[in-house]
Chain A
Amino acid sequence: MDPFNFAGNPPEAFTRRAFIGRGLVLASAAATVPQFISRSALGMTAPLGLSSIPGVPEDHVLVVVQLAGGNDGLNTVVPFGESAYYKARPTIGIPAARVLKLGKNQQVGLHPQLDGLKELYDQGMLSVMLGVGYPNPNRSHFKSMDIWHTADTSGTGTGWLGRYFDNDCCGTPLDAAAKPNPLGGIAIGREAPLAMKGGKYQPIGFESAELFQWLGKGVDKDLATPYDEITRRGVAADTDPNTTAGFLMRTALDAQVSSDQIRKAVSQRSLVNYPGNELARQLAMVSSMIRAGLPTRVYYVTLGGFDTHAGQGGENGRHAQLMQQFGGSLAAFYKDLKAHGNDTRVLTMSFSEFGRRVGQNASGGTDHGTAAPMFLAGPMVRGGVFGNQPSLTDLDSGDLKFNTDFRSVYAGVLKDWMSADADKVLEGSFRAVKLIEKA
């Protein structure tokens, strides 16, 4: 039997170990990439014959939505039952009557423009985790973002998702020769986020798929063939694989194969209409990549503009528009996933680097604050509101006191959805919050 012929062997392709070691080729390249590439790619990764762990889900996907700039948690999940809220926010508070209610006894509800999230909530597809933060909150965008990305309160070190890949996704370190699949994590944006950068693992990042390719072909189409020859050869026979030249040749091969697959994947038309905003554009691409069967475990998307120091508005206005974009995009994303039968495979988690202060400022906006809610979405989540809403009166110099450490939410996602060793990935022990039940 030809060991390089995988055509009749798809289940093997999705075992986690195979995915990490050689899944790039097995899982999806085999179908689209000529044989000689499969050979050269295989030559550089792990040996064959690794088996899967019984009972471990192999095809789970995590999508992280970063709301950049510090989303105003109190106007996202509104504590409409408290007079202190309206007192602190005389012009930007959301009228109780307009808040989207989450159940009879719930004293918090969603911003009126979050109808998209309400839809998911009503289908039991949304977990609202209240009062998430960390000790000694930092109010610098960059520092606090780094803290969320590294899952370390000093904000230094590698990214938590990067460590997930470094640790072979389940707590066993990679073999020295093994190399994480470059397609394991894909970030859409100009820069790959720190969260996905590991010691060994480097994610793929691109802003739009058209940029994720060589432009020389557009100058002279006859260059396509020699270019492919250059990049697809892998490590040339006359090159020592330990040299930097060998490293570059491997990376060039990875880049070429990833580029082909990604551009092919996102060229498909979505099955539903997405709203016209940046987050929707990114989620539509993610949905297409999932649909195309890329072996990617983590996708990372970003919506910016949440730094609403002035004129943030209440029920309408700037923040309301962001809420509409966020909720509407997420609702469309799950409709699309459902249409191609992948919704049950995809968990989405949103976060922001911090919430905002309880009281509004003189410019009709809010300044940098602390704790805020997180959302988890997908058919596998426990629908409902969890955690405790921080008190609006017992404050830490004008700021909310957090109730749940964000790393407890990460721990739950790692443990219950990604089947990973959370302690190892988070480099510490955190009580995992149970937000996923239908894994």
Chain B
Amino acid sequence: MTIHQPEPPAPEMTGPSLPNNRSMDRHEGRKPISSSLAPIKADRWGYDQARHLLWRAGFGGSPEQVRTVASWGPQKAVEYIVDYDDVRAEKIEADAFNKDIMRPASEAERAEAARARRAGDEDAVARLRAMRQEAERVDRGQMRDMQKWWLKRMIETPRPLEEKMTLFWHGHFATSYRTIEDSYHMFAQNRLFRRNAVGNFGKLLYEIIRDPAMIAYLDNNDSRKGRPNENLARELMELFSLGVGNYSEQDIKEGARALTGYSFYDDEFTFQKNNHDTGEKKILGRNGTLDGDDFVSAILRKPACARHIAGKLYRLFVADVPTGRPEIDKPAESVIRQLASTLVANRYEVRPVLRKLFLSDHFYEQPILREQVKSPAEVVVGAVRSLLTPTRDLGVLTDAMNLMGQNIFYPPSVKGWDGGRTWINTATLFIRQNILCFLLTGKTPKGFDALARTETYDAAAFISGLEPSGETGGRAADSPFARSNPTDQELSVVVEQMLRFTLGASSPGNHEILMRHFRAAGNRVDQESVVSALLLVTAMPEYQLC
């Protein structure tokens, strides 16, 4: 089915507002950071910037990847990550999963059910109920397979930004399997987000009001002329586009009327003409016999829409504002305004906004670095991608993400995940440390994973990847790995490289802890001592940051 959608309209917004550096708060005594989106100078670019970009725009890079991206310079690095269509990736086929597990009942089945109920045929009613329950059980199994499939994809993709943005849209247009109970609808929605990951936000908004999972989640299939359901209309403005305070209760009521009849059958969107309210409406200042597309167009014309989306992208990639730290919060306001203008100037194309952001001076300012809490996905996927651990068991990893508060395909509410510091509490901190322990060693609460012996962590590859001399990825002859008696100075270099790579920076305290660790291991940098050192590093509170 092809959906005819209008082009996103040109917003009424005027040109970009200029950053106002003068109003910045200096009373803290901290130098406010640059709010400039001008490209970062090549001479400011290096290892730490490459590492930062790989974490924020993706899920972290391996030691070798960080060095490679550092050597590219900012322009090539950002292009490679943002213009990922040139990077070959595995295609996702529509038939990757069974779409018929929760198919609607056929006419014959419905007739049989009606007959059984009429006749009081309890055996038949019970049989039909059992069939339904069996389908639900199988479907829950498929949902679990999809969770693992997506997690694997995040781990293996050569286009990390694509998966990161797909996850972002999943949290933004949050829809939970818990309510809709049709795994294929979740899969279809996931493909929709991936298709438009860095594409056009306007297009995504037109498509989301036609998405079966979303329609089911927000009850729009029950919304018809005369008794509209306001759920979708409300969230469409409050959470998906404009943000609270940028529309009225009347806009919700009228918007809900515009969305009446937007329903689905099986896996396809259907427009139920008879249920649609064709009357006059007034939404966000526009009059007419408005339908769902007109409603979306009215939203996209509002400057608040671009601001809201720019703000969410900023929180995803840059800083979880408001942070309570004026040296970040003030410039952030200006940057978000500039990003919103860029979004508008590009008629809601997301890619140019991200390109500009990732290239900007602002993005690489010191207080921005290592200040973001890793999401559970970043913890798990990032461990495999950056430390090069075995994946071990996708089921265990999925469960751990759930315990850390991010059960993919099951966001806690239509608001999605709050993120930032809310990921962290005393319980989730242990899970975060322990899942790293599992990935590095196979350790489980009850012992070791069955494959822990055969799937060992390649500590040698990790260490040699850290060395500038190991540019080729091979094991340099002068590697301190397994060499007897490296000097204290050599040891110190290894520790410094390890901390700079894993934590983004070394502190005297952390450095000392690792030095003592290696000395206690007889000054050896070998399989055992490196794995143990990584267990300590990943238990450091700073490891939760990226």
- A: residues with CB less than 8 A from B are 140, 142, 156, 182, 190-192, 202-206, 210-216, 218-220, 222-223, 226-227, 229-231, 233, 236-239, 242-245, 247-249, 251-252, 254-255, 258-259, 310, 362-363
Contact = CB atoms under 8 A, between A and B. Distances in A.
A214 B433 contact: yes
A223 B535 contact: yes
Interface string B360-395: 000000000011110000000000000000000000
23 contacts: A142-B178, A204-B425, A204-B427, A212-B427, A216-B536, A218-B443, A219-B531, A223-B535, A223-B536, A230-B536, A230-B540, A231-B541, A233-B509, A237-B509, A244-B421, A244-B545, A245-B371, A245-B542, A247-B424, A249-B541, A251-B425, A310-B129, A362-B126
Given A252-B541, A362-B122, 19 more contacts: A203-B425, A204-B427, A205-B425, A212-B427, A214-B433, A215-B443, A215-B444, A219-B443, A220-B535, A229-B513, A230-B540, A231-B539, A231-B541, A244-B372, A245-B370, A245-B542, A248-B545, A251-B541, A310-B129
B544 A248 contact: yes
A191 B410 CA distance: 14
Contacts of A231: 539, 541
A418 B417 CA distance: 32
Given A142-B178, A214-B430, A244 B443 contact: no
Nearest to A259: B430
Closest 3 CB pairs of A and B: A248-B541, A255-B426, A202-B425
A205 B441 CA distance: 25
A190 B405 CA distance: 10
B532 A219 contact: yes
B29 interface: no
A255 to B, nearest CB: 4
Contacts of B445: 210-211, 215
B387 to A, nearest CB: 15
A216 B437 contact: yes
A230 B373 contact: no
Interface of B: 122, 125-126, 129, 178-179, 324-325, 370-373, 402-403, 413, 421, 424-427, 429-430, 433-434, 437-438, 441, 443-445, 507-510, 513, 516-517, 520, 528, 531-532, 535-536, 539-542, 544-545
Contacts of B370: 245
B536 A215 contact: no
A244 B535 CA distance: 21
Contacts of B433: 214-216
A143 to B, nearest CB: 9
Given A215-B443, A243-B371, A238 B430 contact: no
A281 to B, nearest CB: 16
A363 B126 contact: yes
Contacts of A255: 426-427, 429-430
Nearest to A210: B445
A164 B45 CA distance: 49
Contacts of A230: 510, 513, 536, 539-541
Nearest to A257: B426
Contacts of A210: 445
B535 A216 contact: yes
Contact of B430 (A142, A211, A244): A211
B532 A220 contact: yes
A218 B448 CA distance: 10
A192 B536 contact: no
B537 to A, nearest CB: 9
Chain B's interface: helix, strand, loop or mixed, by majority?
Answer: helix
Nearest to B399: A190
Contacts of B531: 219
Contacts of B426: 182, 202, 204, 251, 254-255, 258-259
Nearest to B117: A362
B424 A223 contact: no
A202 to B, nearest CB: 4
Nearest to B543: A248
B507 A236 contact: yes
B124 to A, nearest CB: 10
B437 A215 contact: yes
Given A215-B443, A215-B445, A227-B536, A247 B421 contact: yes
Contact of B535 (A219, A249, A252): A219
Contacts of A237: 509
Nearest to B528: A220
Contacts of B513: 226, 229-230
A248 B126 CA distance: 53
A258 B427 CA distance: 10
A251 B126 CA distance: 52
A426 B371 CA distance: 35
Nearest to A253: B541
B394 to A, nearest CB: 19
B371 A214 contact: no
Nearest to A249: B541
B430 A213 contact: yes
A244 B422 CA distance: 11
Contacts of A233: 509
Contacts of A140: 179
A310 B535 CA distance: 49
A254 B445 CA distance: 21
Nearest to A220: B532
Given A206-B427, A211-B430, A254-B426, A142 B179 contact: yes
A236 B437 CA distance: 24
A218 B324 CA distance: 39
Contact of B424 (A192, A226, A236, A248): A248
Contacts of B517: 226
B532 A223 contact: yes
Nearest to B319: A244
B460 to A, nearest CB: 18
Given A244-B372, A251-B429, A216 B539 contact: yes
B536 A238 contact: no
Contacts of B325: 242-243
A255 B402 CA distance: 19
B324 to A, nearest CB: 7
Nearest to B30: A240
Contacts of B516: 226
A231 B178 CA distance: 37
Contacts of B324: 242
Nearest to A218: B443
Contacts of B402: 190
Identify which of A182, A190, A252, A363 gathers the most chain B CB atoms within 10 Å of its CB: A252
Nearest to B514: A226
Nearest to A310: B129
A385 B532 CA distance: 60
B372 A362 contact: no
Nearest to A258: B426
A245 B430 contact: no
Contacts of A192: 425, 427
Nearest to B444: A215
A297 B542 CA distance: 31
Contacts of B434: 211, 214-215
A252 B444 CA distance: 21
B541 A222 contact: no
Contacts of A244: 371-373, 421, 545
The winner among B403, B444, B508, B535 for most chain A CB atoms within 10 A is B535
The residue among A238, A245, A249 with the most chain B CB atoms within 10 A of its own CB is A245
Contacts of B438: 215
B534 to A, nearest CB: 10
A238 B542 CA distance: 13
Contacts of B507: 236, 238-239
A77 to B, nearest CB: 29
A4 B441 CA distance: 40
A175 to B, nearest CB: 15
A363 B126 CA distance: 7
Contacts of A220: 528, 532, 535
Contacts of A362: 122, 125-126
A249 to B, nearest CB: 5
